[in-house]
Chain A
Amino acid sequence: MIEVSIKTTRIELKKIFLRFFYNQAMIIFLIVLFTTLSIASGSFLTIDNWLNIIRQTTVLGIMACGMTVVIIGKGVDLSAAAILALCAVVNVMLQPYGYPVAITAAILTGIVCGLVNGFLIGKIKANFIIVTLGTQILFTATALIISGGRNLSSRPERIFSYVGAENLLGLPLMFYILALSFIVFGIILHKSASGRRLFATGLNDKAALVAGINSSNVIMGSYIVNGFIIAVSSIILASRLPRIRVGTASEYLFDVITVVVLGGTALSGGVGGIYKTAIGLLIFAIIRNGMSLLAIPYEYQQAIKGAILILAVLYDEFNRRKRLLY
């Protein structure tokens, strides 16, 4: 009798452990990564280094918020980087007319881009991969045309580079923007009615429809929000970099998807969250930073990034199967 109870409790403990393991493994991974790096590289735990990490991942992080929303809605936005480029270009081009103008214009651009994607995917119901692949080209081309193909120098005035460089309480201003957008998106996704609707649509659009949720609007909304937040990040990009290349922006696409997927937001839709993306971002940032601290050649860094993405998804799939057991 007693034995039995012991056995059962043991099983219980095992279950609890495994449940934790399968759901929180990313955090565990993060901790492991953190410790190993701080041992491996002396400069990892320095403040300067963390300032770097912040500087180098803010734009990515803010974009990741938008991408999370889109992916939860059972989509992916392959035109994200193109939108980033377009907004940045618009922004820089219009700076002569004053920052308010430039910023509003950039944000409007972002929203319009999101609207285009959203309309084609939500309303016309065209496949999201195709649409965003297409609009990616369109937006890039537009960016090149209005920039006339040349690199644009972001003006060095302080006002603007405040966001980029100025510090507040020892942290770059943009860190606060990053934090803010994570909080805001967290609230929108997990605390607001529309967030709930988005999850419902991502999980089961038919049921969502029966529940009186206008899924096509929700989807459209997700892409518009994405467009908007990309525009915001473009402002930071423009203020951080001395010079805007359309090519620069295009390098963000892969990273942003990696970050979101790494966090555990599933491409199958309806699963995930901002906190997960935050963890994903942290892992990604630390890995990237670690690789350069350990002076791993740039080209191998790329390969490693790719491997990480695949492993993350593979792991997530394996996880999904296991989670059903515990």
Chain B
Amino acid sequence: MNKLWQKTINFIIAQKLLFIIILMIMVLSIADRSFLTIRSILSIFDHVIINGVMAVGMTILLISGSFDLSVGGVMAFTGVVTFLLQPYGLFISTLCGLLAGTFVGVLNGLLVVKGRINAFIVTLGTMIIFRGLGLGLSDSTPIKGRIPSFQLLGRGSILGIPNSVVILIIIYVLGWYVLKYTKFGRDDYAIGGNVLSARLAGININLNTFFYFVFCSFTAALAGLLYCSRVNTASAIFGPGIELYIIAAAVLGGTSLFGGKGGVIGTIQGVLILGMLERVMVIFNVNVNYQTLSRGLVILAVVVTDALVSRRERILLVRREV
């Protein structure tokens, strides 16, 4: 009985996002004839690429039961560093940018693992620090891109398919593979699910957690590169408040803020839904005053639902002991 019930519920839960996406696509294409064209579909991917790329790292971090508020800062910081260094050539600048961004992850990881500080405070702090540093380095003026070819990263296309799509596919396949087929990824679930037995199973909790933070910042740095290459400018104020959006997308995708469950496949769906919501706003010419509210409502609903569901599951867990 319980099993059956579980199965059906799981089925519904598993399908909910697809269901919502389909619903949205239907509504959109009814409202706007031009919606169901290749270009406009592809453009959705164009829009979600930044959030999408970051969400992969965030998902992996969330699964381990931790989380990161500094991704927005990292993204902007990476861009600034990259464009500052462009005089030294495309390769060097890009590499240094990536390294700089990833370094923040190293910092976060160390502070959380070694310093044993609450991840929330750490990442809140680093968020501020690196936005500030970015502003400082750039004299708080946007930096114009010097190398045109750098723009191809975010704007170009391969065999007619926009890079954004390609990149998204690559990184999500990668993320999916890592989570499903590597020890690194599987340990993620173990740590998030039950630290004690993970430790007994010989998993090095600290090391793994550290690397999840690093990876999260890495994806953020990557997103930073994409961002800058798309607008060919870098500024430390790019992506205000983006972190909450990313977390929301991941949670909407079924990744629990309490760790132990979730995956990138869900995340991409979550990202797409939030992305399409923006499109909805445009197509229905939403009164600006209600845009923030609509976004807010969705995110609020997502997080509260997650909280309630996991609470429900915690109760079930207790029941099991009886």
Contact = CB atoms under 8 A, between A and B. Distances in A.
Contact of A254 (B124, B133, B292): B124
B115 A314 contact: yes
A323 to B, nearest CB: 15
Contacts of B126: 306, 310
Contacts of B140: 298-299
Nearest to A300: B136
Q: Chain A contact residues: over half helix, strand or loop, or mixed? A: helix
B293 interface: yes
Contacts of B133: 299, 303
A305 B288 contact: no
Given A302-B131, A303-B128, A261 B299 contact: no
Contact of A303 (B117, B136, B293, B304): B136
Interface in A293-311: 297-307, 309-310
Interface stretch (B14-22, B24-32, B306-314): B306-314
A134 B295 CA distance: 11
Nearest to B67: A129
Interface in A138-152: 138, 140-142, 144-145, 148-149
Contact of A130 (B132, B296, B307): B307
B299 A306 contact: no
A168 interface: no
A300 B304 contact: no
A126 B247 CA distance: 17
A314 B257 contact: no
A306 B296 contact: no
Interface in B301-321: 303-304, 306-308, 311
- Among B116, B122, B129, B257, residue most surrounded by chain A Cβ atoms (within 10 Å): B129
Given A140-B296, A145-B289, A303-B136, A133 B303 contact: yes
A127 B258 contact: yes
B128 A134 contact: no
B118 A313 contact: yes
B300 interface: yes
Contacts, number: 127
Contacts of A138: 296-297, 300
A137 B296 contact: yes
Contacts of A310: 111, 117, 121-122, 125-126, 129
A316 B247 CA distance: 28
A125 interface: yes
Contact of B135 (A134, A149, A257, A299): A299
A257 B125 CA distance: 11
A70 to B, nearest CB: 14
Q: Chain B contact residues: over half helix, strand or loop, or mixed? A: helix
Given A130-B307, A302-B131, A149 B296 contact: no
Contacts of B125: 306-307, 309-310, 313
Contacts of A301: 132
B132 A302 contact: yes
A130 B120 CA distance: 12
A130 B257 contact: yes
B121 A130 contact: no
A170 B108 CA distance: 46
A306 B127 CA distance: 8
Interface of A: 76, 120, 124-127, 129-131, 133-135, 137-138, 140-142, 144-145, 148-149, 254, 257, 261, 267, 297-307, 309-310, 313-314, 317
Given A141-B295, A299-B134, A305-B128, 17 more contacts: A124-B307, A124-B308, A126-B304, A127-B258, A130-B306, A133-B244, A133-B303, A137-B296, A138-B296, A142-B293, A267-B118, A299-B132, A305-B132, A310-B117, A310-B126, A313-B115, A317-B116
16 contacts: A124-B308, A125-B311, A127-B307, A129-B257, A134-B303, A137-B295, A141-B295, A141-B297, A299-B136, A302-B132, A302-B135, A303-B130, A303-B132, A305-B128, A306-B128, A309-B128
